[in-house]
């Protein structure tokens, strides 16, 4: 279940991605209604700005309700969009650096460390990995935000980007088994 918790911030690039996705699906007026309902109608969202987790959670919840879908489904779709559209504008060099999906997934933690060190106030999730066998990887998601559904969507998007089918099986609230 996706549930953004904590008193931290995320980067505006994530919220800008949500805005782009929702605007593409439902129009600018729909996005403006979400912000108004969240009490953020005058908030300027820039990719480089900091955005409170609590406000992000509010936007996600209101958007899902207005779209009449579960928050988990919306978070999954947003994660996929993040990889296939948004990060291609911001971080495409990371995708080009790796030729195979396995290599990219195994590099995600290091990529997030690089982003943490180069982008002020960035607090992306961290990951731990454990191979079950030669084609099955257990990936642990480490974040106070509890956005596992977003990660699952991002993994689906990565699978599409690298044109490599995978099977995903969530274990508990913070682990996913990836079968290549």
Give, in order, the Cα–Cα distances in Å from 117 to each of 9, 101, 114, 125, 177: 16, 24, 5, 13, 28
Q: Above pLDDT 90, what percent of the chain?
A: 81
HSE-CB for 145 with a 13 A CA cutoff: 24
Nearest to 161 by CA among 88, 97, 89: 88
pLDDT (0 to 100) of residue 6: 46
Asked if pLDDT for residue 5 goes beyond 80, the answer is no
pLDDT (0 to 100) of residue 116: 85
pLDDT (0 to 100) of residue 3: 52
Strand, helix or coil for residue 130? strand
pLDDT in tens, 81-138: 999 999 999 899 999 999 999 999 999 999 999 988 888 888 899 999 999 999 999 9
Nearest to 178 by CA among 19, 169, 117: 169
CA 46 – CA 66 distance, rounded (Å): 23
Q: Please state the pTM of the whole predicted model.
A: 0.92
Sign of the four-CA dihedral 137, 142, 146, 152: negative
Give, in order, the Cα–Cα distances in Å from 19 to each of 29, 42, 153: 11, 14, 17
Question: In the structure, what pLDDT confidence band is assigned to residue 148 with cuts at 50, 70 and 90?
Answer: very high
Domains in the chain with CATH codes = 99-179 (3.90.1520.10)
Asked if pLDDT for residue 4 goes beyond 60, the answer is no
Instruction: Give the pLDDT mean for 24-51.
Output: 93
CA 73 – CA 119 distance, rounded (Å): 29
Specify the pairing of strand 50-52 against strand 126-133. unpaired
């Amino acid at each position: 279940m996706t549930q953004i918790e904590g008193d931290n911030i995320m980067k505006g690039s994530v919220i800008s991605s949500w805005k782009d996705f929702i605007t593409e699906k439902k129009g600018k007026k729909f996005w403006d209604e979400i912000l108004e309902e969240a009490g953020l109608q005058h908030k300027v969202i820039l990719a480089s700005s900091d955005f409170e987790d609590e406000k992000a959670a509010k936007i996600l919840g209101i958007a899902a309700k207005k779209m009449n879908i579960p928050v988990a489904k919306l978070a999954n779709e947003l994660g996929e969009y993040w990889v296939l559209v948004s990060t291609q504008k911001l971080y495409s060099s990371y995708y080009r650096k790796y030729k195979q999906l396995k290599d990219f997934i195994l590099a995600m933690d290091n990529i997030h460390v690089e982003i943490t060190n180069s982008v002020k106030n960035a607090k992306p999730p961290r990951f731990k990995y454990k191979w079950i066998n030669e084609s099955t990887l257990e990936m642990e998601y480490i974040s106070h935000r509890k956005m596992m559904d977003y990660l699952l969507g991002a993994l689906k998007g990565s699978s599409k980007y690298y044109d490599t089918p995978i099977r995903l099986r969530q274990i508990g609230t913070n682990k996913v088994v990836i079968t290549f």
